[in-house]
């Protein structure tokens, strides 16, 4: 395949296991990224009638295609997890001309590379080229790109800030006791890093020697505390703090103008209507209640959060 033929294709994965890094490209030119998460769009495409074989190239193709028409992020969403960030991204995605790329796994792959084995400048450049490739203008109607990061990406905020220094960002959070209650009931992949202390150190800065003795609640609270600390210590330029309690109104009242987007009364009405539905479902399902809110917060969870996560949360709450 000619290089020019890949201009409208999307990088969906990296492979660093061989002698040279490789990039897998998919022809997503006909997809609209309306699913809650980027990987869901990829999976739907892969199982659908428009699926075609992937093309594998070297990492240098990202650089070679970087001059193609692309959108740089109008804004980035960072969050604590289970705090309403998916609702924020889904509502922004209803705005005309706005493309939301939510928690793309290729970005996570880059941000999990061992910093001792990767040149920092090269990593920043690769992140920049990847995000621009994800924001490639395909049908042509796209005007703004919003990047929603995975929760732990806040710990790598400096890399994204170096790649896009002028991009405003928002931090979405929630009472960490409620967050931890939800995480323990339905664990995300990163919570399982308790079984891999060295990986937990790299991801969250947790002392690997202390990990084996931690309860699940303590490990989760440590991780949340690390994310909150990272959000609080990040360069505040362009930062907007939003609490779960302020949603959904804060999306059109604060996030939209913060990202330089436009929302007239009709757009606000669409967002208000969309907010009635469960944000993580691809098919519309009326939101019947917050199960995390209904679950009781145990004394163990409350104690762990107070020790490891509460200070950061309170500091950031004072900025909302």
pLDDT tens for residues 82-93?
Answer: 999 999 999 999
Average pLDDT over the chain, rounded to an integer: 94
CA distance 182 to 244: 14
- Burial status of residue 175 (CB atoms within 10 A of its CB: 0-12, 13-18, 19 or more): buried
CA distance 107 to 150: 9
> Quick one: pLDDT at residue 289?
53
In this structure, of 1-15, 73-87, 272-286, the range with the lowest mean pLDDT score is 272-286
> Quick one: pLDDT at residue 142?
86
Residue 31 lies in a domain: no
> Quick one: pLDDT at residue 1?
76
Residue 117 lies in a domain: yes
> Quick one: pLDDT at residue 285?
59
| Average pLDDT for 93-117 | 95
294 band by pLDDT with thresholds 50, 70 and 90:
low
Domain with 292, as residue range(s), is: 69-317
| Average pLDDT for 176-205 | 96
Q: Tell me the C-alpha to C-alpha distance, in Å, between residue 61 and each of 3, 48, 88, 188, 298.
A: 8, 27, 33, 32, 51
157 band by pLDDT with thresholds 50, 70 and 90:
very high
- Residue 273 maps to which CATH number? 3.40.50
pLDDT tens for residues 215-257?
Answer: 999 999 999 999 999 999 999 999 999 999 999 999 999 999 9
The domain total for the chain is 1
Contact of 81 with 151, CB cutoff 8 Å = yes
Residue 59 lies in a domain: no
Residue 34 lies in a domain: no
Residue 56 lies in a domain: no
> Quick one: pLDDT at residue 154?
98
Phi, psi (deg, nearest 5) at residue 286? -60, 130
| Average pLDDT for 287-301 | 74
């Amino acid at each position: 395949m000619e290089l020019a033929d890949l201009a409208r294709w999307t990088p969906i994965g990296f492979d660093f296991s061989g002698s040279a890094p490789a990039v897998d490209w998919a022809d997503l030119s006909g997809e609209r990224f309306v699913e809650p998460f980027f990987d869901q769009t990829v999976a739907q495409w892969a199982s659908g009638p428009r699926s075609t074989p992937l093309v594998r190239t070297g990492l240098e193709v990202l650089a070679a295609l970087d001059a193609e028409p692309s959108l740089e992020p109008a804004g980035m969403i960072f969050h604590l997890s289970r705090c309403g960030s998916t609702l924020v991204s889904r509502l922004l995605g209803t705005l005309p001309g706005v493309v939301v790329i939510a928690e793309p796994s290729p970005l996570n792959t880059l941000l999990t590379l061992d910093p001792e084995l990767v040149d920092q400048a090269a990593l920043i450049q690769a992140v920049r080229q990847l995000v621009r490739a994800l924001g490639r203008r395909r049908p042509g109607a796209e005007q703004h790109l919003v990047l929603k990061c995975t929760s732990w990406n806040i710990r790598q905020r400096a890399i994204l800030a170096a790649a896009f220094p002028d991009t405003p960002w928002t931090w979405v959070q929630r009472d960490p006791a409620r967050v931890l209650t939800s995480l323990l009931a339905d664990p995300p992949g990163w919570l399982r890093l308790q079984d891999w202390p060295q990986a937990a150190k790299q991801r969250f800065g947790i002392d690997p020697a202390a990990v084996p003795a931690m309860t699940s609640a303590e490990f989760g609270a440590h991780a949340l505390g690390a994310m909150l600390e990272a959000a609080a210590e990040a360069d505040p330029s362009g930062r907007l703090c939003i609490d779960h309690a302020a949603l959904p109104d804060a999306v059109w009242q604060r996030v939209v103008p913060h990202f330089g987007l436009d929302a007239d009364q009709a757009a606000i009405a669409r967002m208000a209507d969309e907010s009635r539905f469960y944000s993580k479902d691809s098919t519309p399902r009326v939101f019947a209640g917050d199960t995390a809110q209904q679950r009781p917060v145990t004394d163990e969870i409350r104690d762990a959060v107070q020790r490891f996560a509460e200070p950061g949360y309170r500091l950031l709450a004072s900025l909302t």
